[in-house]
Homo-oligomer: A and B are copies of this chain.
C-alpha cells in the first residue's frame, strides 16, 4: 500500500509499505476513505520535536472495515467507522471515567500511521464507532474531523466548562481552535470571543458561532478580553496552540474561578506557580479523550447539525501529502484532507 513517511524535518514522502495485518484478535484492518494532516504533525515537520526518521505519519482516520480479529464483536467488515487518535479498550477504569486517551492499554495511532491506504486499529471494539450506514460523500470530511480535531476542540470546550450564560475566549485560530468555537456554540455559550488575525479564519470562526473577534495577542489580547467582560475576564478559555505565550494568554484571559481548557500540545511551556496560584483558575487539558465524545459527535454530523469538515480548506490525493504539509506549515491552508 501507499503511505506517508517523514524522513526528517521538512522531508515528507509517500512510499510503498507492507499492507497491515491482524496481529491480535482485538485488531481491525480498515481501508481509509480519508485522512489528514494534523497541526501536531507540524511540530516534527518544523524540527521542534525530536525525530528519529523515517517514521510513518498520521493519526486521524475514517474508513471501511476490511477484516477483524477473532475477538472483535462491535464492528464488522463493510461498516464505515470513525476512531480516535488513541486506541483504547473503553472498559478500564480510566476509560469508564471518560479519559480514553490515557486508557491503561492505550495505543497511539500515530505510532501506526494513518496517512496511508490501510491501517491496523488495535482494540477495535473500544476504539471504533460505526456510522448508522454508509455515509454520503459530503459527510466524510465532517466524520474525519470527529476523529481528532473536532473531538479535541470539543474536549477543550468541555474542559473549559463552556455553557449557557458563559463568555468563552478561544486562543488559537487553527482547526482545533475553530472547532472549539463550534463546540462552545453547541454547548450553549452566550458569547464566544475568537483571537484571530487572519480574515479567512475569522470568517469561519464567525460562521461556527464566534460573536467577537480580537486581533490583539498576548497581554494586549488579555486587556481586550477584560474590556469585553467588565474587567473580570472570560468564564471559560480554550487554549489550542501549546506555546508559553498562548498558555499565559489563556490563563490571564480567564476570570478568578474561571476554567481554562487546554489542548495545544505543550512545547517549552513552564507555568509560573505563583501566578497560577493567584489566578485561582481551573486548569484542565491534555490529549483529548475523543472516544468519549464520538457517538454524540457522529450523531450531530449525521443529522447535519454541525459541519466541522469546513476546516478542511485543501484536499489532495495522498500521493501529494508533501504539498499538504507545506501548505499547512506556511499557513496557506488551515487543514489538509488527504484522499488515499
On A, residues with C-beta under 8 Å from B are: 93-94, 97-99, 101-102, 104, 230-232, 242, 244, 247, 255-257, 262, 265-274, 276-287, 289
Q: Please name the 9 residue pairs, one residue from A and one from B, whose CB atoms are nearest each other, closest first.
A: A269-B273, A266-B273, A102-B256, A280-B286, A99-B257, A271-B271, A283-B283, A266-B277, A270-B270
- CA gap between A262 and B274 in the complex, in Å: 12
30 chain-A/chain-B pairs, Cβ below 8 angstroms? A93-B230, A93-B232, A94-B232, A94-B256, A98-B257, A99-B256, A102-B256, A102-B278, A104-B231, A104-B232, A242-B273, A256-B286, A257-B289, A265-B277, A266-B273, A267-B274, A268-B273, A269-B273, A269-B277, A270-B272, A271-B273, A271-B276, A276-B286, A277-B285, A280-B286, A280-B287, A280-B289, A281-B284, A282-B282, A283-B284
- Most chain B Cβ neighbours within 10 Å, of A231, A267, A273: A273
Count the copies: 2
CB <8 Å contact, A280 and B231: no
Query: Please, which residue of chain B has its CB at the minimum distance from the CB of A270?
Result: B270
* Neighbouring B residues of A284 by C-beta, 8 Å: 280-283
Query: Bound state CA distance, A123 and B125, in angstroms?
Result: 59
List 14 other contacts, CB 8 Å, given A94-B232, A101-B280, A280-B286.
A93-B232, A94-B255, A101-B256, A104-B231, A256-B286, A266-B273, A266-B276, A269-B274, A269-B277, A270-B270, A270-B273, A278-B287, A280-B287, A283-B284
